[in-house]
Structure 1
Amino acid sequence: MSDTISGVGIGLGVAQGPIARMPERTPAPKDTRSERSPEDEAARVREAVGAVAAELTRRAEAAGGAAHDVLEAQAMMAEDPSLEEAVQARLDEGKTAEWAVHDAFAEFRATLEAVGGYLGERAADLDDVAARVIAHLRGEPAPGVPSPGHPFVLLAPDLAPADTALLDLDPDSPNRVLALVTTDGGPTSHTAILAREKGIVAVVGASGATGLAEGDVVIVDAAAGAVVASPTDQQLAEAQRRSDERAAAVAAPVTPGALADGTPVPLLANLGSPKGAGEALELGAEGVGLFRTEFLFLSSKEAPTVEAQQAEYTKLLAAFAGKKVVVRVLDAGADKPLPFLNDAEEENPALGLRGLRALRANEQILRDQLTALARADADSDADLWVMAPMVATVEETIFFTELAHELGLKTAGVMVEVPAVALLAERVLNHADFASIGTNDLTQYTMAADRLLGSVATLQDPWHPAVLKLIAAVGEAGRTHGKPVGICGEAAADPLLAVVLVGLGATTLSMAPAALADVRFSLGRYTIEDARRIAQAALDADDAPAARAAAQAAAAS
């Protein structure tokens, strides 16, 4: 008799195969005194950390995409000065290098777990760095994915970025990974982010899967957020049919995003640098719905020049010649403080001087960025749009759009991340040329639930009817004024929620490029009337789980 284990599905995929469990990590070092001097042990640690950081950097270059950024961050984590000091303090007490690394990293892990949310889910990344450093100190192979000699479903508590980034997905490989199942983690874990980018069938946070044994055959149903253990022959056949149907849809020639009745819904890409342009286009992006410009600023001690910015924007616009490109001006503050913009200590930085607020306090930085964009636009035939983050008032809308127009940019809009702007959307769209809804922050501020705080993570769900009602208000204002309303938060990558968002009035959807195929496939199954009916079912629910369930039921009817 089959047994269904629930988790969080990533995408629409379904796969089946035998379980291969991630090998247990080697035992933790014992707390013993070292026979070496602290200086010798410190030299061993420096060599091991350097080797691990170099290997992670090598993997980052090989992986590319979001995996590149994740692995580079992990390499930086390995060489963090605070961790180095913590390790040295233990070495000075006469501890072994192995124990000092284990204990110092464990202390940092506990700190991240206490913070929770996004940072809490980085604890697995820290574990992996520590395990790699300790393995190097012991002269042992680094921990990694099993190679059973046949295609398999990988089961693990969670996966380190270094492993997820280079999973063997070759259809002809004897060690092909068919799907991922993790017992820990959530939709914002690096496993989930990289699985979505690579198009891997995955169910994360399936805590009930701990009892699955090596070789057990399972169905991994991402669309349902379920792992089916001991499936029947009928269930296996149905899963294969669905898998074949999805594969055919993904392999079909890329067409513009549209509903079943032909209603166009352009599908755009979220990008963090021009490097991702080629892959986004290959996966069918019809343009860019969110280009994050922070990469130009975050590694600098001072704001980049107009010329340096212009060069990067020119690369982006050249890659998307003839297509729409929406650029978000610098969104700093909160979890991204900058010394030249706003690094003042704030009691509650998520509600402080961030986004457009910080730029207005340093207006020359904003003027330089808009100038660089206007110059790049003058030499391009891409359709450049610019938007401001963290807009909260009609006056801020007027300020930004007038300044952008003054500096030569044709199309200027605002991000809807603050409930106040959603509630005043009709007045805001009197002045803005378009609105783009950032569902991550809109959910955070609507639910008064910090995105980085694990204790309130269940409230950080864009399916909540309160969030959907705000999106509906913006969609209605867009229809009234005849102005576009885009979605550029993670919600757009959820295939069913994408249908709901269109039903609420979204005219474009922007997402991680790997999600484009599933969203395109999902939209093509419903008409605009279907989308509105499914959206209404979600709106009529009392909470996020009920809204998701109501939408699923309406979509199936």
Structure 2
Amino acid sequence: MTSLQGVPVSPGRAAGVVVTMPAPLPEPALARLPEGSDVEAAADRVAQAARTVTADLLERAGRASGTAADVLTVTAAMAADPTLATTAAGLVREDRETPERAVWDAAQSVVEQLEALGGHLAERARDVRDVRDRIIAELTGQRPPGVPEPGHPFVLVAHDLAPADTATLDPGLTLALVTEGGGPTSHTAILARALGIPAVVAVTGAARLRDGETVLVDGGRGTVERDPTPDAVAAASVARVHRAVEGQGHTADGVHIELLANVADAGSAKAAAAAGAEGVGLFRTEFLFLGRPEEPSVAEQTRAYHAVLDAFAGRKVVVRTLDAGADKPLPFLTTDGEPNPALGVRGLRTAVAHPDVLERQLEAIAAAAASADAQVWVMAPMVATPDEADRFVDRCAAHGLTRAGVMVEVPAAALQSRWLLDRATFASLGTNDLTQYAMAADRELGALAELSTSWQPAVLRLVAATCDGAHIAELTVPEGRSRPVGVCGEAAGDPALAPVLVGLGVTSLSMAPAALGDVAAVLATTSMDRCRQLARLALASRDAWAARRAVRAALPELDALGL
């Protein structure tokens, strides 16, 4: 067998025939409207096509749930943004460009602006191209971009996938996903994990894979085997099982580890509860705000929050306040043109200039909590200093919200966790951003995929520092007031990394519901002492690959479980 190596992002093994993504739509010809053409009617066609694409994406979002619904909604909001359509219509009127050529040129202008800005905004260039191709397909009657439908199960191979394409993958037909680009915390990787599809990204040589050949994908080891033996194919088919969660998460010696879910709306909350989640470790509230010219009212927010809390009556729900900025700009809250949006005014920092938005959100969360039976915890994103944590705790207390915590996404917060948790009652590690900031590596860039993984020993040391700080803080607060530390980033759903995180001191893991069963199964075979040993192995490694190899070698249960 010939083996290709990539970065593992979604565990599991699967074998099947390759189906490659079709080439993107070709660039339209440089053409002008014929003399005598109705220029206004041609310009209007651009706006109509954009409306049709928006409606289609929103309709698909309505049929999806969780992360897939979120991504489709965000893509629909981009299609609905008048900037692209207005610019294209202007090119039709002023330069007499054909509608499809005008959309291409207008989109290229936006792409160049985003790529020049860099950081998270540069990541959106791919999404602009996706929307561009959908509008052009609508204008020209071509098949819109999307995942092939060969009529049988397959392994999808692509250079990379637009988020809207990944969101529509059918786990019943898509056996595995292989991409040449992307990173372990890219949208493609996150959605693959949410769907429970084995996936490997940043695969060198993926472009050489051809339609119809059989491959075996190991999403835990990051390998793609060409021409596997019949026995290997049969073993991979047996390994592809869905594990249910039974009761609470625990180690082999009975230590309780909360297994929670990441959700964004009532639909994903119900799905998480059905999957056996003990509660919610991350309720992303920003998707209620995205794609809107103004913030939702307190009443609308209250209804949306209550619907999520209802799915977990009597159980913990951790609500993250609005995480706007960077790749999630909001016209009523964030500003355009920041030279480096990832390091700009985002998360809790937006409350400095717009404290009223945070106040109204806390009012809505408190109202929903008062009328629901869930245990409501609230946390702020992008906290970097003890003063920021203290101010957030004060604002929560003013609304009667007594369980107020902080996200640890910035290395400074990890190193200062003892002081952040002096008054904040818990911490939740957002390992996606923590890794990005610690390694100075854009998580969407395939060229930096080896850096963009929470297996990096430097990132694991920041996790350990956060937990150590929490233990010190516990000694200074009134008796009985613990300072739990959870993980709600993508690292929590990695079955091999989960016991390492527990060994570092993490007490809860929040993940995509599809990952709950695998993580529960691994923890149930691993004692707390062994978790600590695995953590020491990972910390002592020189790099991420060495850490992953050392832990997997010490955890043969992973292979036995098909992970």
Alignment TM-score, normalising by the size of structure 1: 0.87
**Residue identity opposite 1:154 in structure 2:** L
Once the two structures are TM-superposed, the CA of residue 341 in structure 1 deviates from its matched residue by 4.7
The 1:548/1:98 distance shift into structure 2, 3 A limit, reads same
* Cα deviation 1:175-200 (Å, max 9, x = unaligned): x3322222333334443333222222
| Aligned residue in 1 for 2:10 | 11
Contact 2:213 2:227 in 1 (8 A): yes
| Aligned residue in 1 for 2:43 | 42
Contact 2:259 2:279 in 1 (8 A): yes
Q: 2:137 aligns with which of 117, 123, 135?
A: 135
Aligned positions of 1:316-355 closer than 5 A? 316-336=308-328, 338=330, 341=333, 343=335, 346-355=338-347
The 1:86/1:320 distance shift into structure 2, 3 A limit, reads same
Aligned positions of 1:430-509 closer than 5 A? 430-449=422-441, 459-480=451-472, 481=474, 482-509=482-509
**Residue identity opposite 2:14 in structure 1:** A
* Cα deviation 1:140-190 (Å, max 9, x = unaligned): 3334444444332222333344544444444xxxxx332222233333444
Deviates more, 1:505-514 or 1:98-107: 98-107
| In structure 1, C-alpha distance between the alignment counterparts of 2:229 and 2:471, rounded to whole Å | 49
Deviates more, 1:98-107 or 1:449-458: 449-458
| In structure 1, C-alpha distance between the alignment counterparts of 2:146 and 2:343, rounded to whole Å | 41
Instruction: Say which SS state the counterpart of residue 474 (structure 1) adopts.
Output: helix
| In structure 2, C-alpha distance between the alignment counterparts of 1:341 and 1:24, rounded to whole Å | 38
| Aligned residue in 1 for 2:478 | none
Once the two structures are TM-superposed, the CA of residue 242 in structure 1 deviates from its matched residue by 2.7
| Aligned residue in 2 for 1:96 | 98
**Residue identity opposite 2:284 in structure 1:** R
The 1:117/1:226 distance shift into structure 2, 3 A limit, reads farther
Deviates more, 1:297-306 or 1:185-194: 297-306
Deviates more, 1:377-386 or 1:424-433: 424-433
Contact 1:354 1:390 in 2 (8 A): yes
| Aligned residue in 1 for 2:59 | 58
| In structure 2, C-alpha distance between the alignment counterparts of 1:43 and 1:290, rounded to whole Å | 43
Q: 2:236 aligns with which of 233, 236, 239?
A: 239
The 1:125/1:149 distance shift into structure 2, 3 A limit, reads same
* Cα deviation 1:402-458 (Å, max 9, x = unaligned): 443353223222222233332232333332222222223323333345667788665
| Aligned residue in 1 for 2:479 | none
**Residue identity opposite 1:43 in structure 2:** D
Instruction: Say which SS state the counterpart of residue 497 (structure 2) adopts.
Output: helix
Instruction: Say which SS state the counterpart of residue 194 (structure 1) adopts.
Output: helix
Q: 1:413 aligns with which of 405, 411, 418?
A: 405
| In structure 1, C-alpha distance between the alignment counterparts of 2:345 and 2:140, rounded to whole Å | 47
Instruction: Say which SS state the counterpart of residue 129 (structure 1) adopts.
Output: helix
The 1:475/1:18 distance shift into structure 2, 3 A limit, reads same
Alignment TM-score, normalising by the size of structure 2: 0.86
Aligned positions of 1:68-467 closer than 5 A? 68-91=69-92, 92-112=94-114, 119-170=121-172, 176-243=173-240, 247=241, 250-252=242-244, 254-298=246-290, 304-336=296-328, 338=330, 341=333, 343=335, 346-449=338-441, 459-467=451-459
Identity %: 51
| In structure 1, C-alpha distance between the alignment counterparts of 2:143 and 2:54, rounded to whole Å | 15
Once the two structures are TM-superposed, the CA of residue 380 in structure 1 deviates from its matched residue by 2.7
| In structure 2, C-alpha distance between the alignment counterparts of 1:445 and 1:166, rounded to whole Å | 30
| Aligned residue in 1 for 2:521 | 521
| In structure 1, C-alpha distance between the alignment counterparts of 2:330 and 2:79, rounded to whole Å | 22
The 1:216/1:414 distance shift into structure 2, 3 A limit, reads same
The 1:312/1:146 distance shift into structure 2, 3 A limit, reads closer
| In structure 1, C-alpha distance between the alignment counterparts of 2:166 and 2:433, rounded to whole Å | 27
The 1:187/1:23 distance shift into structure 2, 3 A limit, reads same
RMSD of aligned alpha carbons: 3.1
Once the two structures are TM-superposed, the CA of residue 520 in structure 1 deviates from its matched residue by 2.2
In the comparison of the two structures, how many residue pairs are matched? 546
Deviates more, 1:339-348 or 1:94-103: 339-348
| In structure 1, C-alpha distance between the alignment counterparts of 2:141 and 2:289, rounded to whole Å | 40
Contact 2:30 2:101 in 1 (8 A): yes
The 1:403/1:509 distance shift into structure 2, 3 A limit, reads same
Deviates more, 1:160-169 or 1:131-140: 160-169
Once the two structures are TM-superposed, the CA of residue 109 in structure 1 deviates from its matched residue by 3.9
| In structure 2, C-alpha distance between the alignment counterparts of 1:303 and 1:46, rounded to whole Å | 25
Once the two structures are TM-superposed, the CA of residue 232 in structure 1 deviates from its matched residue by 2.3
Contact 1:269 1:510 in 2 (8 A): yes
| In structure 2, C-alpha distance between the alignment counterparts of 1:55 and 1:484, rounded to whole Å | 43
* Cα deviation 1:489-518 (Å, max 9, x = unaligned): 222122222221111100001122233233
The 1:319/1:71 distance shift into structure 2, 3 A limit, reads same
Deviates more, 1:206-215 or 1:419-428: 419-428
| Aligned residue in 1 for 2:31 | 32
Instruction: Say which SS state the counterpart of residue 4 (structure 2) adopts.
Output: strand
Deviates more, 1:379-388 or 1:422-431: 422-431
The 1:228/1:115 distance shift into structure 2, 3 A limit, reads farther
Deviates more, 1:23-32 or 1:341-350: 341-350
Once the two structures are TM-superposed, the CA of residue 298 in structure 1 deviates from its matched residue by 4.4
| In structure 2, C-alpha distance between the alignment counterparts of 1:40 and 1:430, rounded to whole Å | 64
Contact 1:16 1:239 in 2 (8 A): yes
Instruction: Say which SS state the counterpart of residue 377 (structure 1) adopts.
Output: helix
Contact 1:117 1:453 in 2 (8 A): no
| In structure 2, C-alpha distance between the alignment counterparts of 1:161 and 1:419, rounded to whole Å | 28
| In structure 1, C-alpha distance between the alignment counterparts of 2:5 and 2:445, rounded to whole Å | 23
Instruction: Say which SS state the counterpart of residue 496 (structure 1) adopts.
Output: coil
Once the two structures are TM-superposed, the CA of residue 328 in structure 1 deviates from its matched residue by 2.0
